[in-house]
Amino acid sequence: MVRHNNQLPDNLPQLQNLIKRDPESYKEEFLQQHNHFRSFLEVFRLHPEKFDKDLDVVSMFLAQVAHCYPDELATFPQELIETLEKHNTVLHSDMRMTFCKALILLRNKGLLEPTALLSLFFNLLRCQDKALREFLQNHIITDIKNVNSKHKNAKINTALQNFMFTMLKDSNDRAAKMSLDIMIELYKKNVWNDAKTVNVIATGCFSKVTKVMVASLKFFMGTDPEDKDSDDSDSDDEPNVKEIMLANKVNKKTKKREKQLKKVKQMFVKSKKKKSKAPQFNFSALHLIHDPQGFAEKLFKQLQKNNDRQEIKIMGMDVISRLIGLHNLFLINFYPYIQKFLKPHTTDVTKMLQFLAQASHELIPPDVLDPVVKTLVDNFVTERNSSDVMAIGLNAVREICARCPLAMSEDLLRDLAQYKHYRERSVMMAARSLIGLFKNVMPDMLHKKDRGRPTEATMALEPVQYGKINAKDFVPGAEILLEKEKDIDIDSAESEDDEEWIDVSHSSDEGDLTLASEDEEVEDEEDDDESERRNSKVPKVKKSKNDKEEESEEEDEVSEKFIKRKKKTYATKLERKKRKIERMRKSKEDSRTEYTAEKKEKAAQVSVTRILTDKDFKRIDEALAVQQVVHAKKGKKRPLEEERGELVKLGDIENIFKRKRHDYEARQETVRKGQEGREKFGYKDGRQNPLCSKTNREKKKNKAYQMVKHKFKGKEKRSFKDKQIALRNHLVKLKKMK
C-alpha cells in the first residue's frame, strides 16, 4: 500500500510509536529506515572520527523497535559490536556513546547475550573517555545484579570473573582499576560475595599499578569514603535545618544564608539516606582468603621491599595485622619491624599501636612480644612524656595483653600498676583499666592489694598456659538451671557481711606478712627471757682478777648455749608456722577445686540431659553476671567480656579520661553559685549616713576624663625631684593623720 504525502520517514518518534502498536502495518517504513542505517554505516566507517547525526538517530530508532522485527534485525547487534571493536579508540565520543546505549537497549529487550556485551564493555574501559567509562561501569554492575537477582547464574559469573582476572593484569591502568572497582561494588551489593571474587581482588594487592594496589588494600581494610563523609555531616557543629529555614525567612536575604540553607538541606537528605541503610556488620572478606599465611608473607615481603609513601605502608601494615589476628598466623618478623616505629613523635603512632594489638593472639610465643612490650613501655610510659602519651601507652599495653596475656611479665605489671595513684586522671584511669583486665584473667600476677575481693568468676579461673586451649564440654553457668527459677538481682547477690570473706590468693605476700609476725613473736620472747635474766641477778661482790676471768668465761659459755637454744627454738617455730601456712593454702586450694569441680559436674549434667531454650540461656547470662559481682564490696560491675572483637578499635587506644571542659554558661552558673551569700565586692562606703555629701576627690572619680585631664598634665611634666618632694609631703601628711 503506497501512502501519498507520507511524512513518517521524517518523523521517527511518531513512526516508532506506531510500529510498537502495529508492527505489520508499518513494516515498509521500517525496512526503509533499516536500509538507511546500512548506507549511513558504510559511509561512517570511512571516517569514524566524525560525528554522523543521521546514523545516531537511526541507530537509536532501530534499537527501540528491534523486538518488533527480530528476524530482520538479527545482524543489527553484531554490526554495532564489530564497529565498536574495530574503531573503539578512534570513534567520536558521541557516536561511541550512542552505539553503547543502543546495545544496552537490545540487551534489556533480551536480544543479546550478557557475556558478549559485557566482554565488549570491559574492552571499552580502555578508552580515554571518562563519561563513557562511568556509564559502562554502572551498566555492568546493574546488569550483573539483574542476572543474579532470582538465583546465582554460575555459568555467567564464572566466565565474567575469569575475564576480570585477566583485566586486572591489563597493561591499561584505567581498565584494570575500573575492573577492580566493579568487583568491589558487586561484593558490597552481595552479588559476587564468594571466595573466588575475594581472592581475585587479593591479587590486586600485588599490582604494579599504585591505584589498583591501594584500592585492593582499602577493600580489605573495609574503609569507605562515603561513610567518612556521612560521619562528618552528622557532627554536632552542623546547624539545625528548622533553625536555618526560620532564620532565612525572618532575616535579611543574603547569599551566605542562601548557601547555608542549601548545604543544610543536602546534609539532611544524606542523613536520611544513611538512616535508611541496612547496618553493616563485621567485614568478612579476610575470612575468605584461601591461603592467609602465604598472603600475609607476600604482603610483608612487598612492604619491606617497596619504597612507597607512608600512607601506603600504613595500609599494608593494617591488612597484615588483621590477617595475623583473624587467622592466628605466625609472622615473627612483623613485630621487630613495627617495633622501630613505636616512638611518641612518629607520624600516626596510634595506628602503629593499633596494628601491634591487632597482630597479637594467644599462640604467639611470649618471647616474641616481650621485647616489643618493653620497648612500648620504655618509650611511652615514662614521666618525661606528657600524660596523654603515657595514657595511650598504657591503653596499648592493655589491648595487647587482652589478646596475649602471657606477653606481660609479673614485675612489669606490678610496676605499671603503681600508676593507679598518678596525679593525672588519664594515666590513673589507664593503669586501673590494665589492673581490671588482669583481675579477670591472671589475678595472681598482681599485688595482693590490687586483686580485689575474690568472686565466683575469679575462683573458677584456670591458670593460663602457652598453647593450652580451655575448651569446655559444657555450657558455663548451666548449673543455675537446676535451681528454682527466680528473679536474679545483682545488688542482692552481694554478701550481707562484707567483712566475712575468704582470701584464696596464692601470692607470697601472705607468707611474708605471717613470717614477719612470727619474727615479732620471737623478738618478744627474747625480750622476756632477757628481762628474767636481768631480774635474777645476784648482788654485786668484789672479786679478784682471776675470779673475774673465770666468771667471764662461764658467762661466755652460758651465752653461747643460750644463743644456740634460742636459734633452735626460733627455727622450730618457724618451721611449724610454715607448715601451718602450707596446710591452710592447701585446704583453700582443695576447697576451691572442689567448689569448681562441683559446679562443672552440675553444668555438664544439665548440658547433656536437656535442650536449652532462649529463656534458659537468658537465665545463664544473668547467673554469669552475678558471679562477676558476688562478694564484691561495691555495687554492680560490668560482666567480663570473654569474646573480644576481631579487630582492635583505634578509640580503645586513644581513649583518654579527662574532665570535660565546661562551656561559658556552665562556668557562669558555677560562678553565680559561689557568689551566693557573699557580700558584694568593690568599694565599701563606711559612712553612717549614705545620703550625706561627698568630697571633691570622690566626685572626681565619676567625672568624664575630658573634665579632669587638665589636672593630669602637670603630673606628666614633673621632674624626678618634684616627684620626690610630692611623695615626702604625702608621707608626712599620712603620719600626721595617724
Please tell me the distance from the alpha carbon of residue 443 to that of residue 430, in angstroms, as a whole number.
17
pLDDT one-digit tens code per residue, 416-474: 999 999 999 999 999 999 998 888 888 888 888 887 776 666 666 667 777 777 777 66
Mean pLDDT for 552-569 is 64
pLDDT of residue 443: 83
How does 40-55 read in b/e, with b if 16+ C-beta sit within 10 Å?
bbeebeeebeeebeeb
Lowest mean pLDDT among 36-40, 225-229, 509-513, 613-617: 509-513
pLDDT of residue 485: 52
> Which secondary structure element, helix H or strand E, spans residue 639, and what is its range?
none
Neighbours of 381 (CB within 10 A): 23
Model confidence at 505, in pLDDT bands (50, 70, 90)?
very low
Q: Map grid coordinates 528476524 to a residue.
A: 71
**Could you write out the DSSP letters of every residue in 56-87?**
HHHHHHHHHSGGG-TTTTSSHHHHHHHHHHHH
pLDDT of residue 542: 45
**Length of the chain, in residues:** 738
Q: Map grid coordinates 618493653 to a residue.
A: 374
pLDDT one-digit tens code per residue, 475-493: 776 776 777 654 444 443 3
Mean pLDDT for 150-163 is 82
Residue 549, SS3 per DSSP: helix
pLDDT at 638 over 70: no
Mean pLDDT for 260-277 is 66
Task: State which of 9-23, 28-42, 237-251 shows the largest mean pLDDT.
Answer: 28-42
Task: State which of 287-301, 652-666, 668-682, 700-714 shows the largest mean pLDDT.
Answer: 287-301
Q: Nearest to residue 376, comparing CAs of 395, 393, 357, 358?
A: 393
Lowest mean pLDDT among 55-69, 188-202, 645-659: 645-659
pLDDT of residue 412: 92
pLDDT at 548 over 60: no
Q: What percent of the chain has pLDDT over 70?
A: 70
Model confidence at 587, in pLDDT bands (50, 70, 90)?
low
pLDDT at 319 over 90: yes
**Could you write out the DSSP letters of every residue in 242-267?**
HHHHHHHHHS---HHHHHHHHHHHHH
Q: Nearest to residue 437, comparing CAs of 652, 122, 156?
A: 652
Pairwise pLDDT comparison (180 vs 610), residue with the higher score: 180
Cα atoms in the Cβ-side hemisphere of radius 13 Å centred on 483: 13
Q: Rounded to 5 degrees, what angle do the CA atoms 542, 545, 550 make?
A: 95
Cell of 411: 614485675
Model confidence at 697, in pLDDT bands (50, 70, 90)?
confident
pLDDT at 634 over 70: no
Please tell me the distance from the alpha carbon of residue 361 to that of residue 368, in angstroms, as a whole number.
12
Q: For 415, which DSSP code?
A: H
Contacts of 453 (CB under 8 A, 6+ apart): 501, 631, 632, 633
Q: Nearest to residue 284, comparing CAs of 356, 160, 197, 213?
A: 197
> Which secondary structure element, helix H or strand E, spans residue 136, and what is its range?
helix 130-147
Query: Is the separation of the CB atoms in 342 and 350 below 8 Å?
Result: no
pLDDT at 391 over 70: yes
Mean pLDDT for 5-16 is 70
Mean pLDDT for 349-377 is 92
Hey, what amino acid is at 597? A
pLDDT of residue 683: 66
Q: Map grid coordinates 558478549 to a residue.
A: 116
Model confidence at 56, in pLDDT bands (50, 70, 90)?
confident
pLDDT one-digit tens code per residue, 60-117: 888 888 888 888 888 888 888 888 888 877 888 888 888 888 988 888 888 888 777 8
Model confidence at 722, in pLDDT bands (50, 70, 90)?
confident
Please tell me the distance from the alpha carbon of residue 36 to that of residue 77, in angstroms, as a whole number.
16
pLDDT of residue 3: 52
Hey, what amino acid is at 276? S
Model confidence at 613, in pLDDT bands (50, 70, 90)?
confident
pLDDT of residue 333: 93
User: For all residues of the chain together, what is the average pLDDT?
Assistant: 76
Between helices 210-221 and 310-327, what is the axis angle to 10°? 40
pLDDT of residue 562: 62
pLDDT at 568 over 80: no
Query: Is the separation of the CB atoms in 368 and 403 below 8 Å?
Result: no
Please tell me the distance from the alpha carbon of residue 570 to that of residue 363, in angstroms, as a whole number.
49
Q: Map grid coordinates 594487592 to a residue.
A: 205
Sign, Cα dihedral of 141, 143, 146, 151: negative
Please tell me the distance from the alpha carbon of residue 455 to that of residue 440, in angstroms, as a whole number.
10
pLDDT at 605 over 50: yes
Query: Is the separation of the CB atoms in 202 and 216 below 8 Å?
Result: yes
Mean pLDDT for 53-66 is 88
Cell of 301: 615481603
pLDDT at 323 over 90: yes
